[in-house]
Each structure stands twice: as structure tokens, then as C-alpha cells.
Amino acid sequence: MAVQEKTSAEDATEVEITLDNGSPYPHPYQYQRIGSDGPLLLQDTHLLELFGAFDRERIPERVVHARGAGAHGYFEVTNAEFCKNYTMIDMLSEDGLKTPITIRFSTVGGESGSADEARDPRGFAVKFRTRKGILDLVMNNTPVFFIRDPAKFPHFIHTQKRHPASHVRDKDMFWDYLGSNPESLYQVMRLFSDRRPGPASGGMGAEDVIRRGCGSNKTRVILLEVACDLLCLPT
């Protein structure tokens, strides 16, 4: 349901109540029932919309990367001739061309309100609003990950979160999964190393200005008839 006004100076008598699809409705508190004291009718579209919006107005936090911070800015090309040797992308075609961007830094396993200093991989995502459309780069601060099989991802994330019964982190659940999936060991060694974010990224946080970004997805850079696949995009 929405309230529509022709202008901000309209009298209250000119306010029109509508449903979500824009059709007018006589009164925001009006509902349909059988008789004056009968049951409510399921055909009452307005009432269904009202309670449907009420049930869904709480948006749950992200399953992963819930704890984060972002910033808006722009990406400026300073050497278009160099870029043209590798790609024909419009975003890098002109010196001085500025592309609006949004960057978000995050931890992976922490929920909203968790510590920034947690020993956890760091997420690093960039959205470029180019003249040709949106370009998203989704990255972590390590060049490897715990798993390769996507079917293992939900089970892995469950072990990194709080236990559903106790609502505390369960170290046995955490290490049981990692010990049962030895492909995780390379990432585990990086996570629990003393390496700082930068050229060699470990699990402890530091200033975001030295954050390394490694592509979670393969990126194809195209130059006319030649294509090159990039696995890691260093910052």
C-alpha cells in the first residue's frame, strides 16, 4: 500500500491510497469480512499485502561477509596507451576517464557487530559503474580458498559459524571439518600464519589501504581477437 500525492502542497483530501500495483483503495484500515461480525476473507488483497510486507520487513544479514564497511569514489585512467596493449575495455580507453566505484571490505565468517581484528580471511569487492554497464570484481585477500567443490560450501560455512544449539563458536566442529577435508590445509596455514595483508596475506586485519585482492572468479581480458585469462588480480 502506498500514499500518492500530486504535489507536496496538496490538501489532505487529495491524498489517494493505493495498493502495491497502483490501484486505488478507499481507506488504509478497511478490510473485507462476511457481514458485520463474520470472518475475514482471504480475497482481501489489501490485507494480504499489509501483513506480507510486515512479515518481510526484517531483512536477515548476509550468510557470509556480513561484517564490512564500504566507500564510494572513482577510478581514473592515467595511462590508456599501456592499457590498450592488453584490453579493449571502454573503461580503460581514455586518459583522465573517471569511473564511479564502490568498494566494500569485509571479514568472511563474522556476523554484524563482530570484531574487525578476528583471524579470518578478508573480502574485497569493487563495483565499477562504467559507461557500458556494471563491472563487479569479487575478491578475497588470499589467492587460495578452503574448498574447490561448491557442494561443500554450505557445510563448510556452517562449521565456521556459531553452533545452532549453543549459539557459541564450536572449535571441535571447526577443526573436525578442516581435518576431514585436507584440501583446506593450504588456506588454513595462510590463515594462521603471521603474514600481514599485503603481498603475502594472512588472517589478521590491517589497514584497508594495503589490502591485497585475489579474484574469486576468473576474469577474461579481451584485445581484438586475443583473449587472456587472469586468475588473480593484484591490487
Q: What residues are annotated to the active site?
A: 65, 140
- What pLDDT score does 120 carry? 87
- What pLDDT score does 175 carry? 93
- What pLDDT score does 156 carry? 93
- What pLDDT score does 231 carry? 47
pTM comes to 0.66
What averages of pLDDT result for each successive group of 10 residues across the chain (235 residues)?
Answer: 53 72 80 84 85 88 89 94 87 93 90 84 90 90 87 92 89 92 91 62 56 75 63 48
d(CA 45, CA 34) in angstroms, rounded, equals: 15
- What pLDDT score does 226 carry? 57
| Fold that domain 2-56 belongs to in CATH | Cytochrome C Oxidase; Chain J (4.10.91)
Q: Say whether domain 68-230 belongs to CATH 3.40.50.720.
A: no
- What pLDDT score does 199 carry? 44
Which residue, 141, 150, 233, is CA-closest to 187? 141
Backbone phi and psi for residue 73, each to the nearest 5 degrees, phi listed first: -170, -150
Annotated domain spans of the chain: 2-56, 68-230
In sequence order, the 6+-apart residues with CB closer than 8 A to the CB of 144 are 186, 187, 190
